[in-house]
Amino acid sequence: MPIEPVAGLLPIVFDLPFREGYVRSIIFVSLYVSVVAVTLSTLFSVPVAVAMGFADFPGKQFAKSVINTGMGFPSVVVGLLVLFAVSNQGPLGSLNLIFTPEAMILSQFVLATPPITAISLAAITGVDEGVRDAARVLGGTRLDVALVVLKEARYGIATAILAGFGRAISEVGSVLIVGGNITGADGISKTRTLTTAIQLEARQGQYETAMVLGAILVALVLTVNAIVVRLGDREVRP
**pLDDT reported for residue 230:** 73
What's the total number of domains in the chain? 1
- Segment 121-135 shows an average pLDDT of 83
Q: Assess if residue 229 is contained within a domain.
A: yes
pLDDT at residue 13 greater than cutoff 50 = no
- Segment 59-64 shows an average pLDDT of 87
- Segment 114-126 shows an average pLDDT of 92
Q: Which of 81-95, 125-139, 168-182, 210-224 has the lowest mean pLDDT?
A: 125-139
**pLDDT reported for residue 16:** 52
Q: Assess if residue 238 is contained within a domain.
A: no
Of 198, 200, 175, the C-alpha closest to 99 is 175
- Give the torsion sign (CA, 224, 226, 228, 230): negative
- Segment 72-98 shows an average pLDDT of 90
216 to each of 28, 86, 181, how far by Cα in Å?
12, 31, 18
Q: Assess if residue 74 is contained within a domain.
A: yes
- Segment 123-146 shows an average pLDDT of 79
**pLDDT reported for residue 146:** 80
Q: Assess if residue 57 is contained within a domain.
A: yes
Q: How far apart are the C-alpha atoms of 39 and 165, rounded to whole Å?
A: 9
Q: How far apart are the C-alpha atoms of 88 and 96, rounded to whole Å?
A: 8
pLDDT tens digit sequence for 189-209: 899 999 999 998 899 888 888
Q: Assess if residue 10 is contained within a domain.
A: no
**pLDDT reported for residue 33:** 95
Which residue range forms the structural domain that includes residue 146? 19-233
pLDDT at residue 9 greater than cutoff 50 = no
- Segment 139-152 shows an average pLDDT of 80
- Segment 143-157 shows an average pLDDT of 84
Q: How far apart are the C-alpha atoms of 103 and 114, rounded to whole Å?
A: 18
- Segment 3-9 shows an average pLDDT of 44
Which segments within 113-233 are labelled E, that is strand?
A: none
pTM reported for the whole predicted model: 0.84
Q: Assess if residue 1 is contained within a domain.
A: no
218 to each of 34, 111, 122, how far by Cα in Å?
14, 20, 27
Q: Assess if residue 220 is contained within a domain.
A: yes
What's the angle, vertex CA 233, arms to CA 231 and CA 238, rounded to 5?
120
Instruction: Between 232 and 220, name the one with better pLDDT.
Output: 220
Residues in the chain: 238
Q: Are 165 and 139 in contact (CB under 8 A)?
A: no
What CATH number does the domain containing 176 carry?
A: 1.10.3720.10
Bridge partners, 183 (sequence order): 189
Q: Assess if residue 14 is contained within a domain.
A: no
pLDDT tens digit sequence for 162-176: 889 989 999 898 999
61-96: burial string, b at 16+ Cβ within 10 Å, e else:
eeebeebeebbeeebeebbbbbbebbeeebebeeee
